[in-house]
Amino acid sequence: MIIAFSILSVIAVISALLAVRLRNLVHATLTLMAFFVALAGLFILLMAEFLAAVQILVYVGAVGILILFAIMLTQQVTGNVKEHIEAHGALWGLAGATAVLLTLLLPAILKTALPLQPVVETIDPSVRALGLNLMSPYAIALQVIALLLTAALLGAVVIAISPEKSEEEKKS
């Protein structure tokens, strides 16, 4: 258990770090996918099997591909070696992020008395309970998600197709 947890979390942290630090954007996206897979492994350790499957299906399968296509549409992939990749004031960014980690996140975790063992050990891992919950108390949330997805698709299509092209369509 602890071995699997250590391996997965080390993979997750290292690949996340590489994903935000690599110069080549395609490599960054591939390490991001490795990060998603490692996180799916952590979900399995926490007995959330369905969410691990969803993580792989949505993030690795769909969002990763989407990011790759977006990179190919914005051309600058390999990155010029001479060009700066850091933002202005990147050191301040590093300091700010470290401050958030050291003063907000870690003390809050370490000071709180947290359970060492799960309260309920045996969890029904079936998807059926999830479906039953999704249908009765969360039916409205489901419709809101449908609306959100529709709006996102329409909005993204309108934003992404080039203005010249939509003008051509108006004429025809």
Partner 1 sequence: MIETYIFVATYFYHYLLIAILGVIAVIFACTPLAIAWVLAPKKPGKTKNESYECGIESKGDPWMQFKVQYYLYALAFVIFDIEAVFLYPWAVAFTGVGLGGFIAMSVFILILVESLIYLWGKGLLEWK
Partner 2 sequence: MVPLHYYLVVSAILFFVGLLGVLTRRHAIIVLIGVEIMLNAANLNFIAFWRFGPNPDLLLGQLFTLFSIAIAGAEAAVGLALVIAVYRFYKTPDLEKMTSLHE
Q: How far is the CB of 61 from partner 2 (least distance, A)?
A: 11
Token pair, residue 33, equals 């996918």
- Residues from 117 through 156 that contact partner 1 (CB under 8 A): 121-122, 125-132, 134-136, 139, 142-143, 145-147, 149-150, 152-154, 156
- Write down the residue that tokens 């029904």 correspond to: 124
Q: Is residue 31 within 8 Å of 22, Cβ to Cβ? A: yes
End-to-end CA distance of the chain: 63
Identify what 59 binds: partner 2, partner 1, none; CB under 5 to 8 Å per kind: partner 2
**CA gap 68, 25 in Å, rounded:** 8
Q: How far is the CB of 127 from partner 1 (least distance, A)?
A: 5
The letter for the amino acid at 92 is W
Identify what 128 binds: partner 2, partner 1, none; CB under 5 to 8 Å per kind: partner 1
Please classify residue 16 by burial: count the beta carbons closer than 10 Å to its beta carbon, then call 0-12 exposed, 13-18 middle and 19+ buried.
middle
Identify what 117 binds: partner 2, partner 1, none; CB under 5 to 8 Å per kind: partner 2
User: What is the CB-side half-sphere exposure of residue 35 using CA atoms within 13 A?
Assistant: 17
Q: How far is the CB of 171 from partner 2 (least distance, A)?
A: 20
* Residue 169 makes contact with partner 1 by CB under 8 A: yes
18/47 with CB nearer partner 1: 47
- Cβ within 8 Å of residue 79, ≥6 positions away: 23, 24, 25, 85
* Residue 94 makes contact with partner 1 by CB under 8 A: no
Q: How far is the CB of 88 from partner 1 (least distance, A)?
A: 26
Q: How far is CA 104 from CA 17, 115, 124, in A?
A: 20, 20, 35
Which residues sit at the interface with partner 1, rule CB under 8 A?
Answer: 1, 4, 44, 47, 50, 54, 57-58, 61-63, 65-66, 69-70, 72-73, 75, 77-78, 121-122, 125-132, 134-136, 139, 142-143, 145-147, 149-150, 152-154, 156-157, 160-162, 169
